[in-house]
Structure 1
Amino acid sequence: MKFIRLATVAALSTTIFAGGVQGFAEEAGESKEVRDTTTEGKITFTPGDDDTIVDPGTEGPDVEIPVITDPDGNNKGPLTISTVPTMNFGSQIISTTDETYNMVAERQQLIGTTGDENKVPYVSMAQVDDTRGSNEGWVLNLSLTEFEAATDTQNKVLKGAHISLHDPSIRYSLDDAAQMPAAHATGLKLMPNEAGVAVMTAAPEKGAGKSTVEWGDHAALAQQIEDGKEVVENTSIKLFVPGSTAKDAVTYTSTLTWELESTPGNEEE
């Protein structure tokens, strides 16, 4: 497993008693040898609080993925969201026909460097850590609001715009494919102001450890860089905007909400 963010690791200690003890007993004045005996080796695990990010693959550059934190700068616990993508669809010319825009590829900091000039295009990912040790399963849902202008403008809402997610892949930290969670189907549509939809799901007895759903392809991003493209695009995340929607020359923004539930498939009472 390759970690791409340095973390403090708490040591786990235990005492293991080895077998092979030989003892002697006196019985009726005779010496009796004990040639076989048993003792116990024990280890107890408790829910973890690791806050590292696992590299989604080996094809991409070595980068440092930022970890999501709360207002106090913390993100530790037995079931938590480690990282999620921010989606920027760039600057586009107003069009009167239906348009689908690829997301501008996110950029991550090369390990051991500082400054934006040392950030490189990278795939987008959402990662869940489950170190509860209960094997209950979980589901990561995503919802979004309407794309709205922050300024006072005539056409404040980008009506009919929606995001779609394509060709997801799963990276899993455990060497057990049977416990790997499942990604959403390709072409998943995220419609504004609707209930969240599952982007990664771990049924009961699945999803322990670190699970990452990834969108994008390192080789495709690298090819765009080699071709000298000024804006590198991630074609696995798209924004559709109807041509019939009125658009003003402003920035429209949507809020994406990522919600991790511990009991997939159970409805709220």
Structure 2
Amino acid sequence: MMKFIRLATVAALSTTIFAGGVQAFAEEIESQEVRQATTDGQITFTPGNDDTVVDPGDDGEDVTIPPITGPDGENKGPLTIATVPTMNFGTQIISTTDEHYNMVAERQQKTGTSGEENKVPYVSLAQVQDTRGTNEGWALRVSLTEFQAPTNTLNNVLKGAKITLFDPTLRYSIDNNEQAPTIHASGLELIPNSDAVPIMTAANNKGAGTSTAVWGDHDAIAKQVADGAAVVENEAIQLFVPGSTAKDAVTYTSTLTWELGQTPDNEL
């Protein structure tokens, strides 16, 4: 019992002495000048060189979209077109009245799968990636040739045909809407053999990062799939063909040329 008391007393006494020592040490620090030192943190960015198509953040299927290739097989660089639509308007019955044909929805590979059976109908995208780091601006434009058939057919030009783009949605990767590019208005017409028309335009100090024009509605496409549609259509892209145009029972094809240039003079 006495041994326990002694240990308790010593402990209490030691605490009292320590507390007094802390107080004296604090008073000594307060009486001294505070000293500071600074160091630097640093990171340097260089222009990018990627060609991966960035998911625009929609609510559709999780898909992996392959990057498009240029005429020389390469499409990498700090300012590049990552992807643009391929437009197929299906097989149609020859008509003598004006017709508007919806585009057949493009099919994309479900992420983590392979094979045509795992491709799903998807919206159409035109995507520009600007990782130059110079904030110089850019413009994406597109032009269209005539829809032509093989030369051995009588009516080898689909006269008066034109493509119209409806209800585009802009997806921008940078968290600053003031830097977002401008997208075309609904009802943009692509007239064969006419000047290229702007799809997206970024003035100086705009458009850095990934900018995506989206045509089509995921829910509308998914409903067609659920309803068992034989052909799933994208109503946001249409081909108009006059009834007065003579048509042969062949396939007519056209070429869309997408041009990405730097520093436009004017916005859309």
Normalization by structure 1: what TM-score? Answer: 0.84
- 1:125-152 Cα deviation digits (max 9, x unpaired): 0100100111111010000100000251
Q: Distance in 1 between matches of 2:155 and 2:202?
A: 41
TM-aligned CA deviation for residue 113 of structure 1:
1.4
2:100 aligned with 1:105: no
Alignment check: 8 A CA contact 2:52 2:66 kept: no
Q: Distance in 2 between matches of 1:131 and 1:254?
A: 32
2:242 aligned with 1:245: no
**Other-structure match for 1:17:** none
TM-aligned CA deviation for residue 85 of structure 1:
0.5
TM-aligned CA deviation for residue 34 of structure 1:
6.3
**Other-structure match for 1:126:** 126
Q: Which has the higher helix share?
A: 2
**Other-structure match for 1:223:** 223
Over the matched positions of the two proteins, sequence identity in percent amounts to: 70
**Other-structure match for 2:54:** 54
Q: Distance in 2 between matches of 1:191 and 1:58?
A: 30
**Other-structure match for 2:7:** none
Alignment check: 8 A CA contact 1:127 1:212 kept: yes
Alignment check: 8 A CA contact 1:48 1:132 kept: yes
Q: Distance in 2 between matches of 1:182 and 1:150?
A: 38
SS state of the match for residue 253, structure 1?
coil
**Other-structure match for 2:155:** 155
Residue identity matched to 1:46: T
Alignment check: 8 A CA contact 1:150 1:253 kept: no
TM-aligned CA deviation for residue 71 of structure 1:
5.9
**Other-structure match for 1:42:** 42
Unaligned runs of 5+ in 2: 1-31
Q: Distance in 2 between matches of 1:258 and 1:211?
A: 15
Deviates more, 1:202-211 or 1:51-60: 51-60
Normalization by structure 2: what TM-score? Answer: 0.84
Residue identity matched to 1:162: K
- 1:23-44 Cα deviation digits (max 9, x unpaired): xxxxxxxxx9661232322222
Q: Distance in 2 between matches of 1:113 and 1:48?
A: 28
Residue identity matched to 1:81: I
Residue identity matched to 1:254: S
Alignment of 1:1-269 (within 5 A): 35-70=35-70, 73-265=73-265
Q: Distance in 2 between matches of 1:79 and 1:150?
A: 36
TM-aligned CA deviation for residue 248 of structure 1:
0.4
Q: Distance in 2 between matches of 1:180 and 1:71?
A: 28
Q: Distance in 2 between matches of 1:42 and 1:111?
A: 36
TM-aligned CA deviation for residue 76 of structure 1:
1.8
Q: Distance in 2 between matches of 1:147 and 1:214?
A: 24
SS state of the match for residue 148, structure 1?
coil
- 1:215-257 Cα deviation digits (max 9, x unpaired): 0010000001111110000000000000000000000000000
- 1:42-62 Cα deviation digits (max 9, x unpaired): 222111112221112331111
Change (3 A) 1:218 1:262: same
Across the aligned residues of Structure 1 and Structure 2, the Cα RMSD in angstroms comes to 1.5
Q: Distance in 2 between matches of 1:107 and 1:45?
A: 36
The count of aligned residue pairs is: 235
